[in-house]
Amino acid sequence: MTTPLIELRDVSRRYDDDPPALAEVSLTVAPGEAVAVLGPSGSGKSTLLNLLAGLDRPSAGTVTVAGVRVDELGEAASARYRRASIGMVFQFFNLLDDLTVVDNVVLPAQLAGLARGEARRRAAELLEALGIDRHAHAYPGRLSGGERQRVAVARALMNRPALLLADEPTGALDTASGEDVKDLLGDLHADGQTIVLVTHDVALAQSCATRTIQLVDGRIAADSHVGADR
């Protein structure tokens, strides 16, 4: 068996005295897997993604991603870790409205110190591959929801992350745009991208995930491999 890309051991995340948002979650994900995390609102899905991204720290347990102990990283180190290994896609896109599409996309590379020219070449490739190259110099405000999410995906892929995290990427989209993004994630997975995807949308989970994890009250209630591999 290959070394897992993600390894969570007895991870808990508690806020104050509330019942834990995550409780003793253990989980391994191999490279190339596409995992869909399902569960009711408040079950800890976003918390799990935040822990993987190094945006949050567990109250107990260890989080290892691509050989990095994410739970032990300081602020600056976790930023560098995100730059190098993580791409994030959000429900509400989180594009920067005052930057053009291409400037949004190159940003992670520039934060990592990559020269502008080189970053733009990579961005141009990505935008073309995602079919939004004609909007490269537009501002996000002018794009449709589906187009915006494509830009967000392009930005997430900019630094060739080992792990793509997506938190309800279709949650703010109409059906057609949702389909669009679903296909895109499916294609990425087919190209070998490891993906952890949070969604309420069972269809999305089934169409582009190889494995679904059911969270209930911060615990893994079910973990099943589905034959969605195409």
Ligand X SMILES: Nc1ncnc2c1ncn2[C@@H]1O[C@H](COP(=O)(O)OP(=O)(O)OP(=O)(O)O)[C@@H](O)[C@H]1O
Contacting positions for another protein (CB under 8 A): 50, 53, 55-56, 75-76, 79-80, 82-84, 86, 88, 90, 92, 94-100, 103, 107-108, 110-113, 116, 139, 141, 155, 159
In the bound state with another protein, the residue whose beta carbon lies nearer, of 86 and 195, is 86
Cβ 112 to another protein shortest distance, Å: 6
To the nearest 5 percent, what fractions of the chain are helix, strand and coil? Answer: 40, 25, 35
**92 forms part of the interface with ligand X (CB under 6 A):** no
Largest CA distance in the chain: 51
- Supply the minimum distance, in Å, between the C-beta of residue 214 and another protein: 23
98 binds, among ligand X, Mg ion, another protein, none (CB under 5 to 8 A by kind): another protein
- Cβ atoms 4, 28 nearer than 8 A: yes
How far is residue 157's CA from residue 88's CA, in Å, rounded to a whole number?
Answer: 8
Q: CA dist 198 to 19, 120, 165, 166, 213, Å?
A: 21, 30, 8, 6, 9
- CB nearer to ligand X: pick between 40 and 67: 40
Exactly one of 3, 15, 174, 206 binds ligand X (CB under 6 A); that residue is 15
Q: How far apart are CA 36 and CA 116, in angstroms?
A: 35
Residue with tokens 């993906």: 195
- The nearer residue to ligand X, 21 or 127, going by C-beta atoms, is 21
On whether the CB atoms of residues 67 and 4 are closer than 8 A, the answer is: no
Task: Provide DSSP, 155-199.
Answer: HHHTT--SEEEEESTTTTS-HHHHHHHHHHHHHHHHTT-EEEEE-
Per-residue contact track with ligand X, 38 to 77, x per CB under 6 A? Answer: -x-xxxxxxx------------------------------
* Residue 72 binds which of another protein, ligand X, Mg ion, none (CB < 5-8 A, kind-dependent): none
Is there binding between residue 21 and ligand X (CB under 6 A)? yes
Identity of the residue, 59 or 100, whose beta carbon is nearer to ligand X in the bound complex = 59
By beta-carbon proximity to Mg ion, the closer residue of 81 and 90 is 90
CB nearer ligand X, residue 39 or residue 87: 39
Residue 134 CB coordination number (10 Å): 10
Please report how close the Cβ of residue 92 comes to another protein at its closest, in angstroms: 6
By CB under 6 A, name the binding residues for ligand X: 15, 21, 39, 41-47
